[in-house]
Chains A and B, each alone.
Chain A
Amino acid sequence: MTVIVNFLIGFFILAGAILCLIATFGVIRLPDVYTRNHAASKAATLGVMSILLGTFLYFYSFEGHFNSRLILGIVFLFMTSPISGHLINRAAYNSGVKLWDRSVRDDLKEYQKKLHEE
């Protein structure tokens, strides 16, 4: 039983850490703000949630106490991290940051132009 729990904790923590690293590679290598935000707000969130789940399992199985603050932290991160990604992306679009020069269509620009004409 303890071997299985050990394996689960190790798997969650290692998977989360590698996801954080992959998110950073995305933030470094992708071409514009929107794709970088796509990498940072999804992969990093899943990675940190996985690490927190591993930590929760560790404290539950080895120290023997149920830590509800970690569960609360997982839920809070899951709720707020995509919202902050959305808000900063919208602020970037409205303050005039250009898309990647090889991106093919921009529906929001046409919609805003049409709204401006009416």
Chain B
Amino acid sequence: MLDIVIRIALLCCSLAMLGLIYRVIKGPAIPDRVIALDAVGVNLVAITALISIVLHSSAFLEIILLIGILAFIGTIAFAKYLEKGVIIERDSHR
């Protein structure tokens, strides 16, 4: 029973990623695309967890934390770039 449930969940997550990729391609503004890419990263975390259940292996559970951290840093960098035009500012008083 659990096997079928995990298959259905993988199908749902894959459909969710397809819809988000539609929004990445079509999105009218840049923030739409950034939001959709962030959600793709979060969905990738879910797919990694489900795949590690399917493979009966706990070797991929570090990847979950890693993808979460990378998606967060990437989204913050994009937000700062959109707002200020630079990501790392120069020291002004020197």
Contact = CB atoms under 8 A, between A and B. Distances in A.
Given A10-B2, A73-B65, A92-B29, A17 B13 contact: yes
A14 B82 contact: no
Among the interface residues B1, B2, B35, B43, which one has the most CB atoms of the partner chain A within 10 A? B35
**A interface SS class:** helix
B34 to A, nearest CB: 5
A2 B64 CA distance: 26
Size category, A interface: 35 or more
A21 B39 contact: no
Contact of A48 (B1, B15, B31, B46): B46
B5 A91 contact: no
Interface of A: 6, 9-10, 13-14, 16-18, 20-21, 23-25, 27-28, 33, 36-37, 40-41, 44-45, 47-48, 51-52, 54-55, 58-59, 63, 65, 67, 69-70, 72-73, 76-77, 80-81, 83-85, 87-92, 94-95, 97
Interface of B: 1-2, 5-6, 8-10, 12-13, 15-17, 19-20, 22-23, 29-32, 34-36, 38-39, 42-43, 45-46, 49-50, 52-53, 56, 58, 61-62, 64-65, 68-69, 71-72, 75-76, 78-80, 82-83
